[in-house]
Amino acid sequence: MNNEVRENHFTSRGWRTASYIYLAVMLVLLYAPVIVMIRYSFNDSRTNVVWQGFTTKYYAKLFHDPALWEIFFVTLFIAVCVTLLGTVVGTLGAVGLSRTRFPGRRIIEDFIYFPLVIPEIVLGIALLLLFNFNGIRLGIPTIIIGDTTLVLPYVFVTVKARLAGMDPSVEEASIDLGADRMYTFFHITMPAIMPGVISGAFMSFSLVLDELILTSFLADAATVTLPMKIYSMIKRGVTPEINALTTIIFVAITVAVVVYLVVSEMKDRKRLREEERRGEAAE
């Protein structure tokens, strides 16, 4: 009886076929622009319209553009700095704020989430005003400050989620056994929240690599990051060079993400296997 009901309902053959088709269409739509872009980056034509033959000359051109390399390294430098800063401050803060009560703590916590909801343009302007009022010259440091402000809530949230899943008495057990709070933080808390810290850091890094609005508000005339460069190129019109550049970035980050996911998946599996083996040995 029950099975019949199921069959009639969502898992019947017709339903299933329809849902697979829907999924396929959505994925095609989602990836179509990227695929078209990649295809054009190898097109030996300046107009993007008709396929004129395969070429890698735009890539070669990019490779031999020293200005682009500099932009690349500046972007990377900013991303690394922001990731480090954001991860350290966000992690410490998530742990600290979750176990301390001090006046104004709620307000601080509310404001940490601010960059998450208010548009980047508002945050960018607010920070611009701050630097302006204080006569601070714009440049790489101000970009780092801005981007760190943006990524902080992401790290904060991921670490907080890990902390929420942690039994608070585990930390107390450590303190009870004679470890002070610092020792406990590094030996007990950190290992437990590490996955959250890593995914927070990873999120920060990819956010910053793609960050345009905040960066363009907080950069001086001399500082250009990769997204800014791409944006200004696009404004001047679609060219095969942009296709090549964006393809490289897209493929590079995709590979990084996939490698990250595969590695963490393999680690999980390895651990599971080991546990099974140990479990059998213990039987």
- Name which of residues 89 to 148 contact another protein (CB under 8 A): 89-90, 92-93, 95-97, 99-100, 102, 105, 108, 111-123, 125-130, 133, 145-146, 148
**Angle (deg, nearest 10), helices 140-164 and 120-133:** 130
State which residue, 80 or 257, has the beta carbon closest to another protein: 257
As to burial, measured by CB atoms within 10 angstroms (0-12 exposed, 13-18 middle, 19+ buried), residue 162 is buried
C-alpha to C-alpha distance for 84 and 200, rounded to whole angstroms: 11
Which residue of 43, 158, 223, 225 would you call a contact of another protein, by CB under 8 A? 158
Candidate list 79, 209, 214, 219; residue touching another protein; CB under 8 A: 209
Q: What tokens were used for 95?
A: 């742990």
Cβ closest to another protein, residue 47 vs residue 56: 47
Q: Which two tokens stand for residue 112?
A: 């940490």
Q: How many CB atoms lie within 10 A of CB 42?
A: 18
* Nearer to another protein among residue 108 and residue 263 (C-beta): 108
Per-residue buried b or exposed e for 179-190, using 16+ beta carbons within 10 Å of the residue's own CB: beeeebbeebbe
DSSP helix/strand/coil, 54: strand
What are 102's two structure tokens?
Answer: 């001090």
Enumerate residues 243-272 that contact another protein by CB under 8 A: 243, 246, 249-250, 253-254, 257, 261
Q: How far is the CB of 133 from another protein (least distance, A)?
A: 6
CB of 31 to another protein, least distance (A): 7
Q: How far apart are CA 219 and CA 226, in angstroms?
A: 12
Q: In whole angstroms, how close is the CB of 57 to another protein at the nearest point?
A: 19
Which member of 138, 143, 213, 214 binds another protein (CB under 8 A)?
213
Instruction: Provide, rounded to whole angstroms, the least separation between the CB of residue 217 and another protein.
Output: 8
Q: Which residue has the tokens 């760190």?
A: 148
Contact segment (CB under 8 A) with another protein among 33-41, 52-60, 62-70, 72-80 equals 33-41
